[in-house]
Structure 1
Amino acid sequence: MKQRLSLQNIIGMGFMTFAMFLGAGNLIFPPLAGQLAGTQIWLAAAGFLITGVGLPLLAVVMISRVGGGFNEITSELPRSMIVLMGCCIYTIVVPIYGAPRTGLVAYEIGMIPFLNEPNAVSRFLYSVAFFGIAWYLSLNPGKLLESVGKIITPALIILLSILGIAPIFSPLGEAGEPMNGYVGNAFARGFLEGYMTMDALAALLFGVVIVTNLKSHGITSPNALVRHSVITGCIAAFGLALVYLSLFNLGATSRDIIQHPENGGQILSVYVDNLFGIYGNILLATVVTLACLTTAIGLITAASEYFCELSHKLNYKALVAVISISCMMFANLGLNQIIELFIPVLLILYPVCIALILLGLIRHLMPNPQLVYRATLLVTFLLSLVDASKGLNHPLAKELLEQFERLPGHEFNLSWVTPFVVTIVLTCLLGKLITPSSPVHEDQV
């Protein structure tokens, strides 16, 4: 059997992946970073692209190498730990936090500007319509290529092109001097901003969607899956890089029309309003709504497929319905409340997910993968708890946390990075002296 997609399907798959990763947060971070970076825009953008584009691409490659499932990524851990970790990540990121946030952002940027008196009723009705569409398009995961990659994404790309090209031919100002943390440190600040997009976390969820779509189109051999995943990931990464660079430029030339914005969404709104008037508001609303919708579809699909893999008794379409309803309900709590509630949770989950990605890429070099995985993930998890606990005011907690302030990157919530690297090196050296234990099969657990 020929293990190859047509050029049209490869491009469509790349567009689908690009659309799933491009959420509203990805449109908001770069403009603010560009404005603050000023004349150091390209240094900041380079750092941003490493973590905002490079890391998710590595995640897609790693997931395709292990077969596309979360359980395969974490196979070196005890079975019970694999299930617990997977359930926590998918439940928190999809029906409780990540997917509901897409609906809230779409409502606040894409709908509120056109309402005289936005209220809880309008938000509820919008969330019902938004997640109703996401539910319908998630019912057939093998057909996401047709619904998202070939229909929604081309429209999104056209709108983004207008948004990105306009500041080049009709700039509304010039880049100023770097501000805040970008003074003399633009690359590092951009690196950290890309880290905060959380796309590496999303890649662990979207990887299974990509592999599922490839298999539904006849790509089943391991080598063909990896090859097509790499091509798909590169197309998506190239598209994301172009979007980020154009938005960095938009932000850098925005100081004359808006100073001291609270977030990148304000920059986008004011910029498109100055360039296009009411048509600019419609343009921005359409871009943000499509971006949020495609991300929600990817998240709902990934979570539903994961839980179906855990138990064949679960029905995929029923899960899609339950998760969509949950997203709709949490979306009515309010954007600020959801973000504040789950920031500590994300500070714990994200480092562990980055560790999984990097470990998966070098697994074949480990003399004792089980030892390396278990020790490294444990250290990463414990240090991520330190970063997530910074806001505690209890005297005992403060005294304990002071011991970790000397770790490199502590002020940026990166306390785990140096111990992560050290643990990998030490366990690899120790692994040469310890014979790996035989893997435990699922039927033995």
Structure 2
Amino acid sequence: MKKKTNDILIVGFALFSMFFGAGNLLFPPYLGMVSGKNWFISFLGFIIADAGLSLLVIVVAAKNKGILDEILIRGGKKLARFIGCASILCIGPFLAIPRTAATTFEMSVLPFAPNSNTLVSVIFSIIFFGITYALTIRATKVIDIIGKILTPILIISLLALIVKGIITPIGPISSTSMIDRSLFSEGISQGYLTMDALGSAAMASIMISTIVSKGYNDPKEQISMTIKAGLVSGLALAVVYGGLTYLGATLSTMHDLNTSQALLVVAATEGIFGAPGKILLAIMVLFACLTTSIGLTSSAAKYFSDISNGRLSYEKIVTAICIFSAIVSNFGVSTIIKFSIPVLQTIYPVMIILVVLTIFTKKIKNDNTFKGAAYFVFVFSILSVLNSLTGVFKFVTLVPLASLGFGWIIPGIVGAILGSFIKTRKI
């Protein structure tokens, strides 16, 4: 029993580290700053969209052997493969993995060497992804490396910052918020940007592989341990997010909307620890981003190796991801985040609606229920993104719950109902 509990904790804390990367460190303090005394409202939206959805996906993925396509398949083979690949590419070499290196460079290197040029950035990205490659190439060792070695350093650094910031606040909390839109919706939007829910299914696969390698061969026991490890991770994330959001709120009278997310975190650590805060921040960012890079690289490589039935080896995909991510990371954090917003706002809702329906998969006999919901949400998400970019589809803002970031729920329900009337055989 002691060994089992220890293994759950190791896997759970490793999962926490894989989730807690660039966006997880950047977004909560900024939410707290723009929210002022109402920081808990935005935090609530953030924790639901990040840890809440991630846990939901892990539970569903664990019951489907950690196979992402098994969750999506009843929405249609083509859409399932498209959403699956798009999700993994987002948490992989296109967005999330390069962002880890870019954030580490901007927050762990530039504060000490502000005049660094492009060559320095390129050299850093090569070193960063060289380490990622070395620690990722053996898939079953990823969890142990992160859970036993890297996570403790990250958690101790984060707790030191949060506890000190609570005991000696940097400044008074503003009585008003800086934005005129819903703080809860803003939290939801920022939670999307972490991309954690997209990676949860793929990470569940790595978790299950690790649990199997530790000698747990009973499928029910594997599912139980995976879910419990997910709960450990979710609780740790909630505590850290709450602390970081509060720290951001204590900066709300000292900064404005023009303050970048990275600079705000720098200001928080320096305000709490003074000059040594830069060193602590460098440590936090390095380990937060490195553990996430390792976890996402391993998850993405395993997914593409699995769907290719082994024709593309895990090792070759890891190599390709590291090389490609090293190139993309040199575009910088702001550019990567700006590009990621419309992509995530399109993919996330489809993933969520299919995950939710999969919970009731035994009760829903008609595959067209899934397909109707998935395609209606997909179309609505595209229109919402186009409206945010051009303003030509303003009717999407009139849909109930749109102001909270959940406008896709009604189209999903309508699509599910209409689809249920179309008879088809189960896949």
1:268 is matched with which residue: 265, 268, 271? 265
Any idea what the Cα deviations from partners look like across 1:410-445, whole Å, max 9, x if unmatched?
4666432211123334545x37xx4x5143xxxxxx
Same amino acid, percent of matched pairs: 30
Partner of 2:105: 107
1:221 is matched with which residue: 218, 232, 246? 218
Matches for 1:357-396 after TM superposition, within 5 Å: 357-368=355-366, 370-390=367-387, 393=390
After TM superposition, give the deviation of residue 334 of structure 1 in Å: 2.9
Give 1:424's aligned amino acid.
Answer: A
Q: Classify 1:138/1:198 alpha carbon distance in 2 versus 1 (closer, same or farther; 3 Å).
A: same
Aligned length: 426
State the distance in 2 between where 1:331 and 1:209 align: 24
Matches for 1:258-297 after TM superposition, within 5 Å: 258-297=255-294
Deviates more, 1:257-266 or 1:375-384: 257-266
Partner of 1:30: 28
Deviates more, 1:59-68 or 1:264-273: 264-273
Partner of 2:415: 423
Give 1:416's aligned amino acid.
Answer: W
Any idea what the Cα deviations from partners look like across 1:78-137, whole Å, max 9, x if unmatched?
444433433333234311222111111111111111114111101001100111111111
Any idea what the Cα deviations from partners look like across 1:359-385, whole Å, max 9, x if unmatched?
2222223132x1111111111111111
Any idea what the Cα deviations from partners look like across 1:218-265, whole Å, max 9, x if unmatched?
233331122111110110001001101111221121235434452333
Give 1:231's aligned amino acid.
Answer: K
Q: Classify 1:423/1:136 alpha carbon distance in 2 versus 1 (closer, same or farther; 3 Å).
A: same
Q: What 5-or-longer segments of structure 2 have no aligned partner?
A: none
Deviates more, 1:80-89 or 1:106-115: 80-89
Partner of 1:437: 425
State the distance in 1 between where 2:214 and 2:68 align: 21
Preserved CA contact (<8 Å) 2:399 2:407 = yes
Any idea what the Cα deviations from partners look like across 1:23-62, whole Å, max 9, x if unmatched?
1211111112222322223333333322222111111111
1:125 is matched with which residue: 123, 147, 153? 123
Partner of 2:321: 323
Give 1:284's aligned amino acid.
Answer: L
Give 2:425's aligned amino acid.
Answer: S
State the distance in 1 between where 2:345 and 2:94 align: 16
Q: Aligned with 1:332: secondary structure?
A: helix
State the distance in 2 between where 1:105 and 1:121 align: 16
State the distance in 1 between where 2:29 and 2:192 align: 16
TM-score, normalised on structure 2?
0.92
Deviates more, 1:133-142 or 1:251-260: 251-260
Partner of 2:178: 180
Partner of 1:407: 399
Preserved CA contact (<8 Å) 2:83 2:351 = no
State the distance in 2 between where 1:134 and 1:317 align: 12
Matches for 1:332-371 after TM superposition, within 5 Å: 332-368=330-366, 370-371=367-368
Preserved CA contact (<8 Å) 1:300 1:320 = yes
Q: Classify 1:426/1:44 alpha carbon distance in 2 versus 1 (closer, same or farther; 3 Å).
A: same
Matches for 1:290-305 after TM superposition, within 5 Å: 290-305=287-302
Preserved CA contact (<8 Å) 2:184 2:404 = no
State the distance in 1 between where 2:388 and 2:187 align: 24
TM-score, normalised on structure 1?
0.89
Q: Aligned with 1:173: secondary structure?
A: coil
Preserved CA contact (<8 Å) 1:23 1:292 = yes
State the distance in 2 between where 1:37 and 1:340 align: 22
Partner of 1:147: 145
State the distance in 2 between where 1:32 and 1:88 align: 28
Deviates more, 1:255-264 or 1:227-236: 255-264
Partner of 1:59: 57
Q: What 5-or-longer segments of structure 1 have no aligned partner?
A: 440-445
Preserved CA contact (<8 Å) 2:387 2:394 = no
Partner of 2:248: 251
Preserved CA contact (<8 Å) 1:380 1:420 = yes
RMSD between aligned alpha carbons?
2.4
Q: Aligned with 2:331: secondary structure?
A: coil
Q: Classify 1:367/1:79 alpha carbon distance in 2 versus 1 (closer, same or farther; 3 Å).
A: closer
State the distance in 1 between where 2:202 and 2:123 align: 28
